[in-house]
Amino acid sequence: MIAAMLLCGGISAQHIKFMGVPIDGTMEQLAVTLEAKGFKKITKNELRGTFAGYDCNIILNTTGTSSRKSDNVANITVRFNEYEIGSMDIFHNLSKWLTVKYGAYDECQDYYVKDSNGHYKISINRVWCNEYGTIVLNDGGKGGKCIELTYIDRENTTGNNGGKLLEDL
């Protein structure tokens, strides 16, 4: 997902928004904000509630290594894990709604994955980019059975010096 984000453009000091809230702040700060929107805190980095009309879990993620890990949230993942049977409907509905809000997706990644039964299936990622970050919609084919929607904040993922990160790659 980070590679997809880096392909999408330059670095900016503003933050991508999730549910109208900039992804900027600590896990605790964002958890409190999401609780005010009706989500229930399950663990330090996980909440449960409704997103886009579907029951889901919200996962708050940070970046960095274990020795210099920041508590600032860099991305938020929404897991629609209760809807195995209707998951492709959820995927297509979210894709349609994201296209209405952000325009046509910038990239579509199709690839084969092996499920737990040893069968292969095609997995789909759709990627929307803007100057503040990247949104990735995954159909659940990565071995999981749930649709995932991830909002990746560019500033909190690459920091103020994304060029330094690119030098390392």
Query: Is 141:19 a contact under the CB 8 Å cutoff?
Result: no
Query: Is 13:23 a contact under the CB 8 Å cutoff?
Result: no
Q: What is the pLDDT of residue 163?
A: 53
Q: Please count the structural domains in the chain.
A: 1
- Smallest CA-to-CA distance from 86 within 53, 59, 42 is with 53
Would you state the structure tokens that stand for residue 17, as one six-digit string? Answer: 């928004």
pLDDT in tens, 123-166: 788 999 988 999 999 887 655 568 899 999 988 876 554 555 55
Report the distance separating Cα 59 and Cα 121, nearest Å: 26
Q: Which helix (H) or strand (E) holds 32?
A: helix 27-36
Q: What is the pLDDT of residue 82?
A: 63
Q: What is the pLDDT of residue 11?
A: 45
Which residue is it, tokens 């392909």? Answer: 7
Report the distance separating Cα 8 and Cα 131, nearest Å: 8
**Residues 6+ positions from 49 with CB-CB distance below 8 Å:** 34, 37, 38, 39, 40, 55, 56, 58
Which residue is it, tokens 């991830």? Answer: 150
- In the chain, what is the straight-line distance between the N-terminal and C-terminal CA atoms, in Å? 15
Query: Is 110:122 a contact under the CB 8 Å cutoff?
Result: yes
Query: pLDDT averaged over consecutive 10-residue blocks of the chain (169 residues)?
Result: 49 79 91 96 95 93 66 90 69 93 85 72 85 89 74 78 54
Range of the domain at 106: 2-168
Q: What is the pLDDT of residue 112?
A: 72
